[in-house]
Structure 1
């Protein structure tokens, strides 16, 4: 998804204008050298704005993703990108990069250990897993299903909703449903929060939901998957306890 429209295009212009004004205040007596310096600074500023702040996963994030995805996800290739032009609007995943807007301050350790960040990471890391295992088809799948949901219901978020029963296969879910299911599992097990995307929670029940998700993750994502111990995982992700020295 590309959001932001004029906003993202306006950012480089504002940077250039700021640099130009700054040069004017400094005075024009430096001549060509000042112009060259300003031009170089503008180029670097625009490039920095385009790229944003790039952060590797920390040890807790790597631990959680290894628990969920096992060897099927190369966590060392996952990068968090904060505040880049492409990161404006809703969070999105582009190949191995998880783009987060400015209201998701991942450079702040407190935010990094919050439920809001952890469940978002679980969702977006599912898209990285989709890319690493299936290529860019995940992006086309996500866009197509969001477009269909918007065309038929007026609400693209309907593409994230799913029902779960004994016949549901993780592999049969669309890209956004898979991301929401993994997110919902983390929400429930670590934080005791109800699933956001599950449409038949009243019929299924939360314990059955957890068991079904764990069976599907083991069958389709991580053959070595072991049920998460909620209190232990929550303590690790909140920073109260360190992750094990060697993750399984």
Structure 2
């Protein structure tokens, strides 16, 4: 199959590209660095010519409501419109576990809008919602710092290795469209402090943790199960401790 991976040079996309190539597929890593810009539209139509599947893992770290909404809706419409012209038979998009239960101006609402565009496009689709990546825990720590203390929520996390998310995307992309949602999470569910504390310790960061039930997630109010799967989910094989061991070796 010819598969276009939008965002194909990033953390997840590069892993998806490599795995699909090893399986023998004709893979196009589509990103500004490869001449494909889903915001301006530059190179998109050419990249999608003859494509059977589009895997959208594009991302932008912006938390202001209007710019991030514009990014995801513009990029998604560009890919969907070009895909329709090219005869794409399956549109796969990476999203976030909990985005259907949380509404907050900014990143989460922008991802929810992206999901709606895909689901209502008329193109066969699969939405893959993942929990937070192990690789992003350090950035999460930074967002929870208050003076010399880290203040995480008391809610639960079930983070997952980026490689396991990529593996799920590869499986979905090479299977029939579900016209629905697949959720992906790590093998361990525990409070934020369990993972945040380990991430800090691995860096030699001795700042204390003060979990707070009122603390939000990047400004989003959450409860205990806001960010974890509530039903059936695909569970990654990599434990947090095993992943951590590979980072320190």
Alignment TM-score > 0.5, same fold: no
- TM-score tier by shorter-chain length is under 0.3
Larger radius of gyration: 1
TM-score, reference length from structure 1 = 0.25
The structure carrying a bigger helix percent of its residues is 1
The structure carrying a bigger strand percent of its residues is 2
